[in-house]
Structure 1
């Protein structure tokens, strides 16, 4: 189960990394963000990759919840606990996020671009939910990587550097989440959402 969880995790990590790379371009502007998104969609918006991704997410959630229940009582140090709780939040986020995307695409007939993703993030009072929702997702992703790095490296090394590196990765995740949220809100000033996306925020 650990091996299956690890392999499916690699597929998801590739997708999330591309997704975060895309969001990083929000710092340059909405048009650049959409240009990069259109390029990346040629890679991950095809039937093969979408089936592979959804299958990997299903495996990751089922195996992850099982591993969480098995290990939650035996987790002792910070990174062992962080791996479990960050993985659980990532599973929760992926279920909600992907469900919303497919509802937007298939039922609302919307282009699930940056405007779809940040409608709530740029609207009061919805941003009170979406800021921690997105921020914790990014931090959890980096936290999960930090935990895996720290524990795997420490198994083969006697020095404490892998643990320190784990904290650095986690810190970078916190910093990166702030940067991404800054970009997705146009410097916390708010992005104007096109009228067709008002259905997402009850207008």
Structure 2
């Protein structure tokens, strides 16, 4: 089996977790308490002693194989969608490495519960919010755009309109989801009372 096929297989495994993770973040529309309640209910699944190492291995492989494929095909790549797929993939790979690393660091070194407040703390203090707001926004948008690019190539035999919808609909959904998650993390949907132990990370 080629690296590209393993990349797709790994993507399917990660997609199941990422979908759950995005739903978790969208629960924050109802407030931090809803986000944390959903997280506590689902954590036993993805932090299981068998499941979590598999997910971490998939993250490393997905990032490594994705960057390798982009670099290998750099000179052969042409067309807007091809470059959009490469760009969104590179951003996602870097985001996953930093994001997963930050979560593991928070758990192991800082001894913190890496819940809603761990992410939200970076959204409420200057100048960190200038970094975290676009950092999260473009990660969610890149995810949906990358999936849209994959759908675009799968619809290659269909009409131009179908192919445009295949990439345009996911990208549009990504914009909405990214905006909602950012607004929730920034405390613009509900007032936030972030515990001091999370704020001290940035002070």
- TM-score of the alignment, normalized to the shorter chain, above 0.5: yes
CA RMSD of aligned residues (A): 1.5
Unaligned runs of 5+ residues in structure 2 are none
Give 1:86's match in structure 2, choosing from 80, 88, 105. Answer: 88
Q: Where do 1:53-92 residues align within 5 Å?
A: 53-92=55-94
Give 1:131's match in structure 2, choosing from 122, 130, 133. Answer: 133
- Which residue does 1:160 correspond to in 2? 161
User: What TM-score, normalized to structure 2?
Assistant: 0.93
- Which residue does 1:32 correspond to in 2? 34
Distance in 2 of aligned mates of 1:147 and 1:46: 32
* Helix, strand or coil at the partner of 1:46: coil
* Helix, strand or coil at the partner of 2:155: helix
Distance 1:36 1:189, change over 3 A: closer
- Structure 1 residue 32 displacement after superposition: 0.9
Distance in 2 of aligned mates of 1:163 and 1:75: 19
- Which residue does 2:44 correspond to in 1? 42
| Cα deviations by residue, 1:124-160 (Å, 9 ceiling, x for unpaired) | 1110000000001000100110000011111x32443
Deviates more, 1:115-124 or 1:161-170: 161-170
CA contact (8 A) 1:93 1:137 kept: yes
- Structure 1 residue 58 displacement after superposition: 1.2
Unaligned runs of 5+ residues in structure 1 are none
- Which residue does 2:170 correspond to in 1? 169
CA contact (8 A) 2:184 2:190 kept: no
User: What TM-score, normalized to structure 1?
Assistant: 0.93
CA contact (8 A) 2:119 2:185 kept: no
Distance in 2 of aligned mates of 1:77 and 1:168: 19
CA contact (8 A) 1:27 1:186 kept: no
- Which residue does 2:199 correspond to in 1? 198
- Which residue does 1:12 correspond to in 2? 14
* Helix, strand or coil at the partner of 1:160: helix
Distance in 1 of aligned mates of 2:111 and 2:85: 37
Distance in 1 of aligned mates of 2:67 and 2:60: 11
- Structure 1 residue 174 displacement after superposition: 1.2
